[in-house]
Each structure stands twice: as C-alpha cells, then as structure tokens.
Amino acid sequence: MPGPSNTSADPVSDLVRWAAFSCALVPLVLVLCGASAAGAAGAAVGLGTVTCACRALLRQSERTAARPSSDEIAPHRGRHSRTGTGAHRGGRRSDGRTPEE
C-alpha cells in the first residue's frame, strides 16, 4: 500500500511553513535552555525577517523562471506591425519611378 506522496503542488509554501514553525520553535527552546526572554524574542524577530526575505526571493525566482526567455519572444515588429524597410506605402523607389507608374 503506497504512502502519501512527498511532492507538493507548491513547494515554496511548504518551505515557508516549516520556516515559520522554526521561527516559533527556536525562541521556545532558547527560553527552556535558560536564555532571556528578550534574547529569545530578538532571535524570533531575526528569524522572521530572514524567512520573509527568503520567501520574497523564492517567489521572485519563480516568476523569473516562469517568464519566457528572450529566444521565445517574437522580435519587435516596429510601428504599426510593419516588417522590413522600404515596403511601406508611398515610399521612395530606387529606380526613379513614382508609385503611380
């Protein structure tokens, strides 16, 4: 009988959830080991700040990875989506003829 799957739909959320748990657990352990409450609170604030910064960086990297690369993006076609140079209506002709000819 197979057990529960270890893969999650959103691994970043799982990581942040564990980090938040650690931010609550570390100050508790510090107080139990004899550290001052102010020191434990300072550790909690520091860990919370680092956790928030890491979460923001992970989300940014996800957005960057989801963006198509420059190779996949069509090149800019210019004004009015025209392509080429000189294929414009009423442009000059190199053989000296006018557009009406």
pLDDT band at 20, cuts 50/70/90? confident
**Dist. CA 18–CA 47, nearest whole Å:** 12
- Tell whether the model's pLDDT for residue 87 goes beyond 60: no
User: pLDDT tens-digit profile of 41-81?
Assistant: 999 999 999 999 998 998 899 889 888 776 666 666 666 66
Q: Are 47 and 30 in contact (CB under 8 A)?
A: no
**Dist. CA 61–CA 24, nearest whole Å:** 26
The whole-number pLDDT of residue 85 equals: 58
**Dist. CA 44–CA 82, nearest whole Å:** 59
**Dist. CA 70–CA 58, nearest whole Å:** 22
